[in-house]
Structure 1
Amino acid sequence: MKQTPPKPSIRRPNFPLDFKIKLVEQALQHGVSIAKLARDNSINDNLLFNWRQLYRQGKFGVQPKIPTTQQAELLAVTLTAEPSPLRSPLPSAEPVTCDIEFTGARLRLAGNLTPALLCALIHELKGPQS
């Protein structure tokens, strides 16, 4: 019986914790490309995404530092009651059905459709006009 030689074991690199934390904190900064940061540090971007998740869960043994650009903010909102042309239904007792056919697909709208809503839909479907 022929014996096969043992396969050489592939050793995974064991990165120091401070290296992981430093990269994760850089990755959490606004506008940083995870893929570029990983590539610049010779690691796989999926590994950096995984480290980022572990960091956020507190599994690196440090309190996660969330950049101020990612902290939630409350915004003041003021609502005013104004009549909308999109809310007035067509003068019809029966619900309106609108079918739009595309190559390989169909969009069907049914209900109290307003002329303004249908105009807006057609305008959006046409796309930007040159």
Structure 2
Amino acid sequence: MDTNFQPVAQRGPRGKYRQHSLEFKRALVEMTLQPGVSVARLAREHGVNANQVFTWRKLYEAGQLVAAAPAQSSDLLPVVVATQEQVPESEAATGTITLEIGRVRLRIEGQANAATLAQVLERVLR
């Protein structure tokens, strides 16, 4: 891993506080996850408080330290929408679409159809 990078810190609207890019945070956290690396030493070398690096590690482990990127085909599961003839009558009137992204859960109940699914996926993948 290349450790020759410079933080891109911008002053926030409140004044002296720095805002580091997600790439910088991820790179620093990934370096701290290597065996035998001192978080305090690495933070000091990059001009960051060690407590801040530990906070970034928690966010990284929770999957919250990622850039919002368009979903790739490998990120999605295959979806099949069955026609009325293929679905047993007891299940035809109801259905559920549940999407979980991080701590957010979207649940749509009712008869699932291709138009509803397409609309939900279009909104989520923006």
Q: Give the structure-1-normalised TM-score.
A: 0.39
Which has a greater percent of helix? 2
Q: Give the structure-2-normalised TM-score.
A: 0.41
